Structure 1
């Protein structure tokens, strides 16, 4: 007898087949759940490890900050050992001697000061490095170095004194977590380096953490203080003290506080930096102009058709519409001293060769509402250069460019300008504008050259700002012959402390 297997011709599985499919589906479901669970566990494990590593790095970072504080305290105390509970995880930290140097040079010094520095360094499993070096704590990740705790380099404005304490770590060893004692070994002072009046100071730091030193000096002394960064040799060179203004216009806008440029007209030619105010020079010029023995010509005595050549003085300068004032600097520099405000509605023009300029110094405010303040092209090369028209104002100057064409340099350096800018909301020109900026552009002025100020705002779509690249690298004076800025650094206090760190 032949047995027959019953089935359906429509392709639908019989009950036995459905049972097999259900079992397979259940097995697959279990596999999927298991895979997902493993993935979640692996992800959670990685995230947990990352969180733990970050937490460990933060603990070590705080421990290094406390270490720097105790090192500083030990530097000023010969007799007391300073204990600290150091947290450097399981990896530990390494004390390295002579890992770099700080060199101080100046024409005021009989010889250069060259100081070696050491490092206490921790490296985590994720590659993050934390380092103590001469009073500072740095955090390095990849090619980025951040200042966690600044070195104790400081400037005292009242006494014009720069204090540069350098801490050197004695010996080489490995430190683990636990009790560590810090003690002072020796201090060397450099008495011959005290007085540096009328000279600048160059500080060169060679270190694996040179990027951190660069960041510190840029933040404390401004971008202009950093003269050179050598990535290959891991070196940063900083200039402080008396500042020569030759390079003041190497950038389109140099500001000490803030800029606002909603239309990006300032472009990439901007930098943050502190340059010295011209107030002392301008005050001396005004004082000398009021002394008849100096033979400075009163501008009111000059014929309206004459071109200026020489040195002039006036209480206020207002070039009205359809009026003009010309300066002939083809054979020598021209100086105009204004003990008051300048308002330009007409034309201020300069004829100059490559070596000379019209320099304008004012004690008041500057406003340009129309027409031109510019350099006329010379017959020889047909080129007009911004350096041939230079305007210098005090640290409290307000400036407003409303219309017209300005081609020159404008210098009103300030670290303490006080708002508001009273020009932008006067006479209805710029009514309701933000007056928190020292130099403001609105309406449709054209500015070609370079600007140094506390702060600047370019407020209008029609306003244009262009850096005159002929200024870059140019060597020119900022003041008449016989005048110069007084030094902002008189005393230099350099001291080297040798400190020892030992595991208890």
Structure 2
């Protein structure tokens, strides 16, 4: 190679090196500028999220009545804008099957939002919380005003009642527009305007059911329609173990909480119907279980009344009978030496044990926790299943079906002929009834401990069914409308049940300047 050729090669290499350096520097500058812009944008969005969280806190002060006016410096917008929209999003509270198949919409209103919008990113205050929507997803910045603890739901609905918009450096001024409206409970407002209105029920006396606690029967659901519905659904899941669902087409999130029905009095069910027991706590949770069964114009001769539970492999039944001969003439003022028979049955097919049977065939009919009482000319069967004063005996029972006893469940079929009712058997549930205790045939125990023990063998939700007989007369022997009872129990602390509901409406306006 000549010297001239080598000189030309050196010049070309230098030119290429300079070109690569220039191109590389341009790439670095371009990438660096883009990365810097991304960092600055994220920092700006983080500042906005913090400002919206402060707006959340100040709005709560105004909306919940601790102040009348608050201001918040939201800062400067970098290409986006702040928007207040009174109609964006809504919330609905519904009580389904509160009686029979009736449903009541307790509350249904718009939520409104104050939002910062910048391209594909939205950071918004709604429902007492702050939400961030980006790239098709939603995250929660701060939680909404939805407070669930034990079986109590407190829902102060904070509504934005103004429309406004601003860009650049923005300040929000928050004012309360109305006094707090008490929605639930509300025993006084019967206007039917949807806020504190009574439930519409056709009671025989023409009365209406008010919005009162505790909430019984059916389910209570909270539904939110929102751009941020996925974030609402995630929050419902973290705060409760209720049934949470989303409807992507409708952009709604719903949480359903079941009522703990058994707290309080109940109407006597029709034959083979039941009382829904929901949310009963583990262990010896039953505190009060009493029934009063009134005779109709027919006869109580040879009548039996029973309550029973069937759940999976387990079954329980308790029955009280009326002796033949006194069912027609016991009242008024009847004194009788007749005895009332009572039996308690239990079986778990998942164990090798047979049927447990506790009996007492000599209960005095005219006094005590299990008795035949009189109300004028009407005969009444009264039973206190949680009385410690009624003894029964653990019995080697005859379950062949020929002993004349009548029950709702077929205990002969349940009893394995190769496994007699266990003797001994052990009650070992935790509680305040003096267990761990082992029983042999002939041992006695009171009705309170038996009721509490056997109820504790079932799960937190079951149906307590009623039956009576004999014959095909159905309910004609019992005045169902004049009969009823009381069932109270401790409820579970798990988050899928509701006993107490508190809903208020709190209206604010937000001016953006």
TM-score range, shorter chain: 0.5 to 0.7
1:284-328 superposed Cα distances (whole Å, 9 cap, x missing partner): 6999999998522589xxxx998438889999xxxxxxxxxxx98
Alignment partners' CA distance in 2, 1:333 and 1:54: 71
Distance 1:311 1:57 in 2: 71
Structure 2 stretches of 5 or more lacking a match? 187-195, 197-210, 263-277, 291-315, 321-340, 360-391, 395-408, 437-453, 467-486, 492-496
Q: Which residue number corresponds to residue 339 of structure 1? A: 427
Query: Which whole-Å CA distance do the structure 2 matches of 1:213 and 1:66 have between them?
Result: 20
CA deviation after TM superposition for structure 1 residue 87, in Å: 2.5
Decide whether aligned partners of structure 1 residues 111 and 333 sit closer, same or farther in structure 2, where only a CA change above 3 A counts: farther
**1:77 is paired with a residue of what secondary structure?**
coil
The 1:298/1:495 distance shift into structure 2, 3 A limit, reads: closer
- Tell me if 1:137 matches 2:122: no
Structure 1 285/112 Cα, relative in aligned 2: closer, same or farther at 3 Å? closer
User: Does 1:235 find its partner at 2:252?
Assistant: yes
Name the TM-score, length of structure 1 as normaliser. 0.54
Map of 1:69-88 to 2, 5 A cutoff? 69-77=57-65, 80-87=68-75
SS of the equivalent of 1:112 reads strand
For residues 294 and 88 of structure 1, do their structure 2 counterparts lie closer, same or farther at Cα, with a shift above 3 Å needed?
A: farther
The aligned runs of 1:342-357 (5 Å cut-off) are none
Kept in 2: contact 1:96–1:171 (CA 8 A)? yes
Q: Equivalent residue of 2:112, what SS? A: strand
Aligned runs of 1:259-274 on 2, under 5 Å? none
1:181 equivalent to 2:173? Answer yes
Classify the secondary structure of the residue corresponding to 1:22.
Answer: helix
> What's the CA shift string for 1:402-459, capped at 9, x where partnerless?
xxxxxxxx96x8xxxxxxxxxxxxxxxxxxxxxxxxxxxxxxxxxxxxxxxxxxxxxx
1:124 counterpart (118, 122, 134) = 118
The alpha-carbon deviation at position 17 of structure 1 amounts to 0.9
111 and 29 in structure 1: CA distance in 2 versus 1, 3 angstrom threshold = closer
Question: Greater relative contact order: 1 or 2 (C-alpha under 8 angstroms, separation 6 or more)?
Answer: 2
Q: CA RMSD in A?
A: 4.4
**2:84–2:165 CA contact under 8 A, matched in 1:** yes
Aligned length: 318
Identify which of 195, 208, 223 aligns with 1:204: 223
Q: Is the 8 A contact 1:103 1:115 kept in 2?
A: yes
How many Å separate the matches in 1 of 2:137 and 2:75? 24
Aligned residues of 1:314 and 1:338 also touching (Cα < 8 A):
no
The match for 2:11 is 23
Deviations 1:73-107 (A, max 9, x none): 01133863101111252312111111121111114
Aligned-pair CA distance for 1:202: 1.1
> Comparing 196-205 with 54-63, which one deviates more in the overlay?
196-205
Q: How far does residue 34 in structure 1 lie from its aligned partner after superposition? A: 1.1
TM-score (norm 2): 0.53
- Measure, in 2, the Cα distance between the counterparts of 1:314 and 1:48: 84
CA 276–36 in structure 1, closer or farther in 2 if over 3 Å, else same:
farther
User: Does residue 101 of structure 1 match 2:90?
Assistant: yes
The match for 2:213 among 165, 189, 195 is 195
